[in-house]
Structure 1
Amino acid sequence: MGRMTAVLVAYAGRHGGTRQIAEVIAAELGAAGLTVDVRDAADVAGVEHYGAVVVGSALYYHRWRPEAVRLLERNARALAERPVWLFHSGPCGPGAATHQVSLPAKVALLAARIDAERTVTFGGRLDPATVHGLIPKLLASGRRAGDFRDWDRIKAWARDVGRRVRTRVAL
């Protein structure tokens, strides 16, 4: 299997929750026999060496992290030439695991430009210990605190991505 069939899983987040999702996705892709690199979006110089790309961002106030947006902007042409999947994590509280959040407008335009697959929303993690500011602290103190990441759903999505990478990328 050549280098071009490697998959990049890039993530952007402040507190490690999105990184953990990226690592679980990478583990599933690896189990499907794909070569995977997991990188912080800020550290991605280019995507030319990858046959497929997954980009994920934590959602803060319905915005993507700037380093994830920059990755999409800087690599738009190369991303348009390969299959791309996007995910974001963020919703917390009751119903978080099934709550679908639409892409922020700027990211939606980029996603359309690179012809990315439909974005999936995963529940997030809200740890009161890592939250700063009055409003976030109030949110974190109530029913929205906790870990709302649905690992079974994340793994199933990753397995689906793996199957589609294998059929769409010349092995």
Structure 2
Amino acid sequence: MTNKVLVAYASKYGSTQEVAEAIAKIMREKGLDVNLQQASQVRSLEEYSAVVLGAPLYLYRWHKYAIRFLNRHEKVLKSMPAAVFAVGPSFNGDEKEWLETRDQFRKELAKFPWFKPIESEVMGGKFDPANLSFPIKYFLKDLPAADLRDWDAIAAWAAEVADKLQDR
């Protein structure tokens, strides 16, 4: 195993990919050797010493490729430092939406009792009804586009995770 970090992500419309790219950039600036890859494309964690996994929550369900990633790599992840994030609130970002999203993310992670990330975070998301497909587009077409991603908070979280990984 090398001293390389994998930032793996699942993204349907590109918003979570942009967050993962920002996280990887900050971690590189902090001196870490980072690979950025779609979670669905990762076949082995052999070359990594740590993982950051991120995916969106759609209708309060974590993206299926993040779940598959955890299932596929359970054996290695049990003994590897990992951090995890979900991209969530993307409509109005009120307190209720944040609380519900954080609660659902905890429930999603609880499905993996063996998984003990060193950090976990829910980040704001991006919503553009023009990107949606039928039938969900029909129900959400009247909602305005919104981008609740807080790039300063994302950078701070990435720096905190990088510091924790370097301290290990």
Indicate the TM-score class for this superposition, using the shorter chain for normalisation.
0.7 to 0.9
Q: Aligned pair count?
A: 164
| Post-superposition offset of 1:105 | 3.8
- TM-score between both structures, scaled by the size of structure 1: 0.86
CA RMSD of aligned residues (A): 2.1
- Structure 1: give runs of 5+ residues left out of the alignment: none
Q: Any conservation in 2 of the 1:62–1:104 contact (CA below 8 Å)?
A: no
| Post-superposition offset of 1:42 | 0.5
Q: Any conservation in 1 of the 2:129–2:143 contact (CA below 8 Å)?
A: no
Equivalences for residues 22-37 of structure 1 within 5 A: 22-37=20-35
Equivalences for residues 136-155 of structure 1 within 5 A: 136-139=137-140, 141-143=142-144, 145-155=145-155
Show the counterpart of 1:167.
167
Name the aligned partner's letter for residue 162 of structure 1.
A
Please state whether the residue corresponding to 1:141 is helix, strand or coil: coil
- TM-score between both structures, scaled by the size of structure 2: 0.88
Show the counterpart of 1:156.
156
Show the counterpart of 2:42.
44
Name the aligned partner's letter for residue 120 of structure 1.
E
Of all paired residues, the percent bearing the same amino acid is 35
Q: 1:10 to 1:133 in 2, by over 3 A?
A: same
| Post-superposition offset of 1:25 | 0.1
Equivalences for residues 130-141 of structure 1 within 5 A: 130-139=131-140, 141=142
Name the aligned partner's letter for residue 109 of structure 2.
V
| Post-superposition offset of 1:46 | 1.4
Q: 1:165 to 1:134 in 2, by over 3 A?
A: same
- Structure 2: give runs of 5+ residues left out of the alignment: none
Q: 1:123 to 1:34 in 2, by over 3 A?
A: same
